[in-house]
Amino acid sequence: MPFDYSAAQLIAYLDEAAPAGQMSEIEVALREDSALRERLAEIVSGRDAGLHSLGEIWRNQRLTCPTREQLGSHLLGVLPDGPDGGLAGYVKFHLDQVECRWCLANLEDLQQKHSQTEGKNAADGPAAAETRRGRYFQSSVGRLSGR
């Protein structure tokens, strides 16, 4: 049973950048198809020789990935929309359709930190928040000038 994967899919597999389901499919296919193993070996030897395509460099540098700040804004729902979806639409597309593993991991980390912060703030209560505000104010006295 021949498996037909593009060079880009195999490169993503090597970089562990493909979606998890596709990574599993390719692993199974590699066990069963010697021609696919040969293609993968050619890609590896080309990389070892320093042959890189523009697309591969683009993917390796993650030039299309949103920044961590943009992912945080997406999590909070404050990214700007536009007629074509804007940045919010692009980030949603990047996470849902491209399934970028780096960005999904980054978003998961942000979600965990956000839920920890919310839990901590809820447990602190309003008195702790007021104390914290007072400390911030006291630490900035003298740094603020009447400019």
49 shares a domain with 90: no
In angstroms, how far apart are the furthest CA atoms of the chain? 77
147: in domain: no
H helices present in 1-147, as ranges? 7-14, 20-32, 34-48, 54-60, 68-76, 86-93, 101-140
Dihedral angle sign, alpha carbons of residues 68, 74, 78, 80 = positive
Dihedral class, residue 17 (left if φ above 0, else alpha if ψ from -120 to 50, else beta):
alpha
Which residue in 71, 52, 73, 61 sits closest to 109, CA to CA?
71
Contact between residue 100 and residue 17 where contact means Cβ atoms under 8 Å apart: yes
**Residue-number span of the structural domain to which 135 is assigned:** 65-142
Reading the chain (147 residues) residue by residue, the pLDDT tens digits are: 457 899 889 988 998 888 889 999 999 999 999 999 999 999 999 887 777 777 777 777 888 999 999 999 999 999 988 778 899 999 999 999 988 889 999 999 999 998 888 777 666 667 776 777 777 666 666 566 555
Asked if residue 4 is part of any domain, the answer here is yes
